[in-house]
């Protein structure tokens, strides 16, 4: 045993292991690091603080939008701006009165909701939101735009109403006013509202401990019929793409791109200057334009008596002619599909064999 201990101590001495710290040599001094260029360390410029205007240059929202007013509620105040349009108002080649020539029942096969046939567009509320982001519990709808028909002394008119949060503390008042207006309408018309606007508003109602029936209402989301009709021909079914391709409309320079809107609102909260934010009010004002692409497609389909040659409009023709379960015609009549029998079943998908013709 003693021999093993001596052998182990000899190995430790050869390895330089000693008892205590007296015999430990001091470490060699490190060489200084070579100088590094500051541009290599920080390749991007240092972010500068956001510009804060002089107090005399700040333009409040009430001054820039004189038609707006602060509406008082038991839950606080909310800024509300109304724009009233006569039914002969024309947007591009279409008038507001043309919308009443159609009924929501024409879209029932696309959205699979039979309740739409029980109402007309006077019973629906057009709805759109501008938010502080795309998702998350902290995302707010700082602007809610709605449009609806209402009677007046000089005939029927269309009202575009915009609810705006001057600060996050105005949200309870906004939701209260929106809930009161929803109580007067039967359903909703949105563009991508089923996936974004309605879930977001529902979460804000829940966060403010308010009951809501947004999901249970008849809801016409125009994005899904647009994809069924024009996705294969146009590629993009964004609202701006549909307006440009189908209606020939081009947005003006005052329109703000969607990705820029949250930063404009954050700048407004920081500085109180609403000059740039006025452009957001202008962008969301034409809320009825969500319906115009579908209105144009329905009008063209209703006028057609034969199936179109472009396969992406087969469903549009069927919707306009209300042909969903008819007797299959012979292949000679239907030249866009080479088969003995051509079943016209458009409710699930469009024709995929058109390239064989």
Say how far apart CA 170 and CA 154 lie, in whole Å.
34
| Rounded-to-10 torsion of CA 101, 104, 110, 114 | -140
Maximum Cα–Cα distance across the chain: 117
pLDDT at position 1 is 73
List where CATH 3.30.420.10 sits in the chain: 55-295
Residue 327 has pLDDT above 50, yes or no: no
**CATH class of the domain at 55-295:** alpha beta
pLDDT in tens, 85-132: 988 888 777 788 888 887 777 776 677 788 888 888 899 999 999 999
Average pLDDT over residues 191-204: 92
Residue 354 has pLDDT above 60, yes or no: no
CA atoms within 13 A on the CB side of 93: 10
Say how far apart CA 252 and CA 123 lie, in whole Å.
31
Q: How confident is the model at residue 338 (pLDDT cuts 50, 70, 90)?
A: very low
pLDDT at position 28 is 73
DSSP string, 58-124: ---HHHH-TT-EEEEETTEEEEEEEEEEETT-EETTEEHHHHTTS-GGGGHHHHT-GGGGG--GGGE
Say how far apart CA 224 and CA 57 lie, in whole Å.
45
pTM over 0.75: no
State whether residue 321 is helix, strand or coil.
helix
SS3 content of the chain, % helix, strand, coil (to 5): 40, 15, 45
């Amino acid at each position: 045993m003693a021999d093993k201990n001596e052998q182990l101590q000899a190995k430790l001495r050869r390895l330089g292991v000693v008892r205590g710290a007296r015999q430990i040599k001091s470490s060699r001094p490190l060489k200084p690091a070579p100088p590094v260029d500051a541009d290599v360390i920080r390749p991007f410029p240092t972010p500068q603080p956001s510009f804060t205007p002089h107090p005399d240059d700040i333009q409040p929202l009430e001054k820039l939008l004189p038609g707006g007013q602060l509406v008082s509620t038991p839950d606080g105040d909310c800024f509300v701006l109304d724009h009233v349009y006569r039914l002969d108002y024309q947007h591009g080649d279409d008038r507001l009165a043309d919308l009443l020539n159609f009924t929501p029942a024409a879209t029932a096969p696309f959205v699979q909701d039979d309740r739409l046939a029980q109402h007309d567009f006077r019973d629906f509320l057009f709805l759109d939101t501008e938010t502080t982001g795309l998702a998350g519990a902290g995302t707010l709808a700082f602007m809610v735009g709605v449009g609806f028909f209402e009677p007046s002394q000089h005939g029927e008119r269309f009202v575009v109403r915009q609810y705006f949060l001057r600060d996050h503390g105005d949200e309870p008042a906004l939701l209260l006013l929106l809930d009161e207006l929803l109580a007067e309408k039967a359903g909703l018309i949105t563009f991508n509202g089923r996936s974004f606007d309605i879930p977001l508003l529902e979460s804000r109602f829940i966060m403010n401990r308010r009951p809501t029936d947004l999901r249970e209402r008849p809801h016409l989301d125009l994005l899904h019929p647009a994809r069924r009709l024009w996705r294969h021909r146009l590629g993009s079914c964004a609202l701006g793409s549909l307006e440009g391709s189908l209606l020939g409309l081009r947005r003006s320079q005052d329109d703000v791109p969607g990705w820029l809107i949250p930063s404009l609102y954050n700048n407004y909260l920081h500085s109180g200057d609403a000059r740039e934010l006025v452009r957001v009010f202008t962008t969301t004002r034409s809320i009825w334009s969500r319906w115009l692409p579908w209105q144009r497609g329905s009008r063209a389909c209703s006028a057609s008596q034969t199936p179109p040659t472009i396969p992406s409009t087969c469903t549009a023709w069927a919707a306009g002619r209300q042909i969903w379960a008819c007797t299959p015609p012979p292949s000679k009549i239907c030249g866009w599909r080479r088969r003995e029998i051509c079943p016209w079943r458009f409710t699930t998908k469009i024709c995929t064999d058109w390239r064989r013709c």
